[in-house]
Structure 1
Amino acid sequence: MRILAGLAAIAFLVVGYLTLDHAGLIERVGDTETLKNTVRDLGAAGPLLIVALMTLAIVMSPIPSAPIALAAGAAYGHWWGTLWVAIGSETGALIAFGLARFVGGPGLAGLLARQSSATFFDRFLHSQNALMAAVFASRLLPFLSFDVISYAAGATPLKLWRFAVATLAGILPASFLLAHFGDELGSGDLRRVGLTVLALGAITLLPLMWKSLPHRCREALGRAVGLR
């Protein structure tokens, strides 16, 4: 029964995406300037559209989410833009997690654990703290698919509330950065835009820079800031 429900959900998502694409809405979502003007014209309903589009972008992976976040920042500034983007992202992530869990996530996780002979994998899969930390860390890495992580997490025994907390904590920085970038683009100040681009690039490279440091340096820095 769950398999049939899962297939029905997938069919619904595919049909929904094709319908939106045929109507030209996908192309409009990818145009930040057009979307910014649309949400502004909607007045008080504009934030609801941002939240709805971000939710769809997470659940329907082919829909781009970055232009929506940029438009939110350009239309509402980085603080309110961050709020609407974060709400939409969190809602979409919870829906994706729920869909994967409903189709039989825990059963799939158990199957993977039984098929794996690696003790580490088995322990990791059944450690709520480790899974929660993995979700949180993945949200901070822009080159990892937000959508795929949300669905994949539903195929593990991770508790819903832990997933929700880890996702929210991880998406707030990225949501703020994208909304802030959109706000800067809307300002038309090329100097501010350039500084924002440099800051975004530096933050994106931080995990790689940390990983490239020698082990002794990482330990020393960790002790200096109280991480150890």
Structure 2
Amino acid sequence: MSKKASYILTGSIVAGLIILYFAYPPFQNFINETWKILWSNDEDKISAHFESFGVWGPVAIIIVMILQIFLVVFPSWLPMIVAVLAYGFLGGAMISIAGVFCASTIAFYIGKWLGDEHLRKIIGSSKNKKVEYWVSNYGFWTIAIFRISPFLSNDAISIIAGMLGMTYRKFIFATLTGIIPLSLAIAYFGRNTDKLKNGLYWIGGAGILIYAIYVYIDHRKRKKETKQTG
């Protein structure tokens, strides 16, 4: 798919969802009701709500995950738990992976559309260079860790990756590398809230720790090589 076609497709999806929300009352009611139920913390009510949609239930969850791009205060892992509650281990994991795939792709191409100049205006040239260095050297594993840790901003890293010109193939492979184990973990622990919280903390914490150690060792190695060549 060409860049132009990608931008058009991404923009059309986003614009279509926004127009549909304001122009079609049943869709607006569905979104409002779903949001209210998701925040109710009533697992039985959440599960029953999505099961009532039948074959359209998974589509509804994926739409919620896409809309979550624009609502950063809404936890990205909540729709994944909903998928598990409604469709079990395997079905919930597959829906979660599909939802993150779609949402990440849209966020990535939004970043592509905004471009590097937009990021430079937001954070300044000096910080932009640091971010470029980080993405160019550690971009793959940065995205993977952001995906595997439920407490980091998945959508922000997707948009930034697009802004800085990372290839889509590298980006989506890194996304799947992180989101598949997270989806399986949430699917495994999803029906036990206490186990889920502990599991997410362990997964996110361990991933960040391992990543920090890797970056520290690699950064020191790079600095040493630079001094030797200089």
TM above 0.5, one fold?
yes
Equivalent residues in 2 for 1:1-228, closer than 5 Å: 23-31=32-40, 32-102=43-113, 104-108=114-118, 115-116=125-126, 123-125=133-135, 127=136, 130-182=138-190, 184-185=191-192, 194-207=194-207, 210=210
RMSD over aligned Cα atoms: 3.8
- Percent identity for Structure 1 against Structure 2: 24
Distance apart, 1:92 and its partner CA: 0.6
2:224 maps to none
- Name structure 2 gaps, 5 residues minimum: 1-6, 23-27, 218-230
Distance apart, 1:37 and its partner CA: 0.6
The question of whether the paired residues in 2 share the 8 Å contact of 1:71 and 1:179 is answered with no
Q: In structure 1, how many angstroms separate the alpha carbons of the residues matched to 2:175 and 2:196?
A: 24
- Name structure 1 gaps, 5 residues minimum: 186-192, 217-228
Q: In structure 1, how many angstroms separate the alpha carbons of the residues matched to 2:95 and 2:75?
A: 16
The question of whether the paired residues in 2 share the 8 Å contact of 1:21 and 1:27 is answered with no
Q: In structure 2, how many angstroms separate the alpha carbons of the residues matched to 1:40 and 1:143?
A: 27
Q: In structure 1, how many angstroms separate the alpha carbons of the residues matched to 2:72 and 2:29?
A: 13
TM score, norm. by length of structure 2: 0.66
For 1:2-36, what per-residue CA distance to the aligned partner results, in whole angstroms no more than 9, with x for missing partners? 9xxx9xx79x859959x569944421233443231
The residue type paired with residue 125 of structure 2 is Q
| 1:91–1:139 Cα change, 3 Å | same
Q: In structure 2, how many angstroms separate the alpha carbons of the residues matched to 1:148 and 1:117?
A: 16
The residue type paired with residue 153 of structure 2 is S
Using CA pairs under 8 Å that are at least 6 residues apart, name the structure with larger relative contact order, 1 or 2: 1
TM score, norm. by length of structure 1: 0.67
Q: In structure 2, how many angstroms separate the alpha carbons of the residues matched to 1:62 and 1:113?
A: 21
The question of whether the paired residues in 1 share the 8 Å contact of 2:149 and 2:203 is answered with no
SS at match of 1:116: helix
Q: In structure 2, how many angstroms separate the alpha carbons of the residues matched to 1:75 and 1:117?
A: 43
